[in-house]
Amino acid sequence: MTSKTDPGGADAPVAAPAGSAAGVSANVSANVSAASVSTANVSAANVSAADGAAPATHGVSYPFGRVPLRRAARRKKWAWADAYHDILTLSWPKFFLVIISAYLAVNLLFALAFFAVPGAVANARPGSFLDVFFFSIETLATVGYGFMNPGNTYGHVVASTEILLGMLGVAVATGLFFARFSRPTARILFSDAVVITGFNGVPTLMLRTANERDNLILEASVHLSLVQRERSQEGQYFSRIYDLKLERERTSVFALTWTVMHKIDASSPLYGKTHEQLLRDQVVLTAAIAGVDDTLHDDVHARRSYGAEQLHFGKRFVDIIYDGADGGRVVDLSRFHEIQADGS
């Protein structure tokens, strides 16, 4: 079973590897060389607005560790320029709901236009809104059954406008369907937890990934960053992003699993940190994998973020690769997220 709590020594600081220089303090991460710090990504936080009022939040929240992020700005919540992007990011049920709602709304609008002028639709029952509504549906789809037809000049103008809108609507809907189906996506599985365990005598941070599809991701690369809150000499809090050096950042073929590893040595921003300190500093790890899908021949990517509470000290991942009866190697993804204490 997956352990959900850290052992008694979970809050012990990450020790320096054997042979490291004496006197390295637990806070050596503050003195990490500028090469390992993305200073360009430093952003101010908790700065009050000029008028003292908190700006309203808007948009979709994104998971950042266990804390959802939401933009805040004094502008309208939605812009027409974002319509295409928003539609592509909708779930399929919401997408179909939008298409059906727009379809019904357009037909109701033109049905009201026909209904407003008596005689606009020939052979429609007098005062029957249902007749003009179904005539609107037939007109929008450019399907004529021959019984009802425009009855005067006004009816012809409305019908012509609806036919033009119907042709444009079919083209737009077809384009949106194609864009959604053709958009390349990756099915990359990230472990629910991040572990810190010994590897070749050095404390090492590890997270596990897997390609869930039965294909290959070529020229895959992974990037791991640490985000933590820090305080400047002027007393201002800000979020600083550290790029973590990995044992292997690229692989020519990503077929099954990939364990991402970062050695916690004197150059690491995690050096000497306890679990309690990481929680206090609101540390967040972000992982991103990108590569070329061997089937689609297009770029794909996936990302995941972890909060400090998802870091487990003194734990390691359960081995999920074993030899099969036929002599081949088997990957058991049913135990992909399981961790266990070191030495067990």
List pLDDT tens digits, range 223-251: 999 998 888 888 888 888 999 999 999 99
CA nearest 306: which of 257, 270, 344, 255?
270
The residue that leads in pLDDT, 322 or 47, is: 322
Give the least confident one: 35-39, 55-59, 154-158, 279-283. 35-39
Q: Are strands 257-263 and 202-211 parallel, antiparallel or unpaired?
A: antiparallel
| pLDDT-derived band at 97, boundaries 50, 70, 90 | very high
CA nearest 287: which of 231, 180, 210?
210
Q: Is 307 helix (H, G, I), strand (E, B) or coil?
A: strand
List pLDDT tens digits, range 125-154: 999 999 999 999 999 988 877 789 999 999
- CA torsion through residues 180, 181, 185, 189, sign: positive
- Alpha-carbon distance of 162 to 128, in angstroms, equals 20
What is the Cα 164 distance to its own chain's centre? 38
Q: Are strands 311-313 and 194-199 parallel, antiparallel or unpaired?
A: parallel
Torsions phi, psi of 17, nearest 5? -65, 155
Q: Is 333 helix (H, G, I), strand (E, B) or coil?
A: helix
pLDDT at 301: 93
- Alpha-carbon distance of 250 to 242, in angstroms, equals 19
Q: Is 119 helix (H, G, I), strand (E, B) or coil?
A: coil
- Alpha-carbon distance of 6 to 90, in angstroms, equals 38
pTM (whole model) above 0.75: no
Helix (H) / strand (E) containing 85: helix 83-89
Domains in the chain, CATH or no CATH each: 81-182 (1.10.287.70), 186-341 (2.60.40.1400)
pLDDT at 24: 32
- Mark residue 154 as left, alpha or beta (left: phi above 0; alpha: psi -120 to 50; beta: remaining): alpha
Whether residue 300 is predicted with pLDDT greater than 90 in this model: the reply is: yes
Write down how long the chain is: 344
